[in-house]
Homo-oligomer: A and B are copies of this chain.
Amino acid sequence: MKNYFSSNFKLGVLGGGQLGRMLLTETQKLDIYTVILDSNNEAPCAQICNEFHQGDLLDFDTVYNFGKKVDVLTIEIENVNIDALDKLEAEGHTIYPKPENLRTIQNKARQKVFYHDHNIPTADFSRFASLEELKHSIDNGAVNFPFVWKSARFGYDGNGVKIVKSITDLNNLPTDECIAEKLIPFKNELAVIVARNTNGEVKTYPVVEMEFHPEANQVEYVICPARIEESVAKKAREIALKVADIFDFVGLLAVEMFQTENDDILVNEVAPRTHNSGHYSIEASYTNQFEQHLRSILNLPLGNTDSKLAGIMVNLVGAEGHTGEVVYKNIEEILKIDGVTPHLYGKKTTKPFRKMGHVTIVNTDINEARKVAQQVKETIQVIAK
């Protein structure tokens, strides 16, 4: 084994946002020298990594030159220059997740084709080179309303996804490559994080459930374990494992899925990295997802993915109507509650819906945790000064 700890080994990370920041907690715990590349020199990682480089993650030369300076290269965001990663890999550099996996996942159309080609259950879809092409298909009856439009590139957190009920819903959408996906009525949106190292050792975290706000179409709570039947959970873990195996994936793969009305599991999309749906693991799991990511990409033995306690995560997003220097209103109120841990991402300014942090609630009783989560949600507010 290479000596990663308190040594001259350098881990490089493309991206310096909150996922990188929580990864740094783990590289600090294990004393792994970590170098971060991000375009923003006020990124959440900038001040607390061993070395920070400012540069564009989508620029070939920037990514290529950064990659040459480190021993193992990883990502905390998938929108990076893959051509540079291909060249680095061809030259013998170690990069996990693998560039070819990132290339497939980065483009949602390609990702859907991949599922189709490998018999992974997913919603039916059609692929279009442009919005114009999609409109033609609607005109000639090949695509019917309602459907889900998804931009092939650079969507995240619900950006780049829209339920289209009539032709006017297509107004003002990006004009480039997209897919039209069958709208699936689902009981639950679930996620499973799979960890896999270069030896092929593999573990899945428990199935988590995204609970949506009854009116706004927004995830309010990530709940672990999901309140679903054991048979459904088993199926979800098996499908997630299958996806990771087919990718021959190394690292963490977050597999988002729908549980249909008939208890079928359909893969919605995957993220090739640590994921919002795994943040609960910092407080609730034996091995949190960030430590597990390190174990995976450094080919260390994987840690126990079981939970110590039930865990629920609440995202802290900027309140509507508030832009400016951030204040976490009533944070002292939530600190009074047992088992509540806020994580603030180090962003100095808030704007509506910006992800500013999250709060984890742990409890021996998941129903109690759910009540506390609601109390937290109703108490803390991310506002401007």
Contacts and interface: CB of A to CB of B under 8 A. Distances in A.
A100 to B, nearest CB: 28
A366 interface: no
Contacts of A303: 335, 338
A31 interface: yes
Interface in A329-385: 331-332, 335-336, 338-339, 341-348, 362, 385
Contact of A308 (B287, B345, B362): B362
Contacts of A300: 332, 335
A286 interface: yes
A21 B30 contact: no
A143 to B, nearest CB: 45
Contacts of A345: 31
What's the dominant secondary structure at chain A's contact region?
A: loop
Contact of A50 (B47, B331, B332, B339): B47
A35 B49 CA distance: 15
Interface string A277-288: 000000000110
Contact of A28 (B50, B304, B341, B346): B346
Contacts of A328: 3, 5-6
Contacts of A216: none
A5 B291 CA distance: 25
Contacts of A339: 286, 304
Nearest to A4: B331
B344 A29 contact: yes
A295 interface: yes
Given A5-B328, A47-B50, A50-B48, A343 B301 contact: no
A325 B31 CA distance: 14
Contacts of A48: 24, 28, 48-50
A327 interface: yes
B25 A347 contact: no
Interface in A29-86: 29-31, 47-50
A142 interface: no
A90 interface: no
Highest count of chain B CB atoms <10 Å: which of A295, A304, A306, A335: A335
A233 B344 CA distance: 36
Interface of A: 1, 3, 5-7, 21, 24-25, 28-31, 47-50, 286-287, 291, 295, 300-301, 303-304, 306, 308-309, 325-328, 331-332, 335-336, 338-339, 341-348, 362, 385
27 contacts: A3-B327, A3-B328, A5-B328, A5-B344, A6-B326, A6-B344, A6-B346, A6-B347, A6-B348, A7-B325, A24-B48, A25-B25, A25-B28, A25-B29, A29-B341, A29-B342, A29-B344, A30-B344, A31-B344, A31-B345, A286-B362, A287-B341, A291-B341, A300-B332, A300-B335, A304-B338, A308-B308
Given A21-B28, A31-B345, A301-B336, 14 more contacts: A3-B327, A5-B328, A5-B331, A6-B326, A6-B328, A25-B25, A28-B48, A30-B343, A31-B344, A286-B362, A295-B335, A303-B335, A303-B338, A308-B308
The 4 lowest CB-CB distance pairs between A and B, nearest first, are: A31-B344, A304-B338, A301-B336, A31-B346
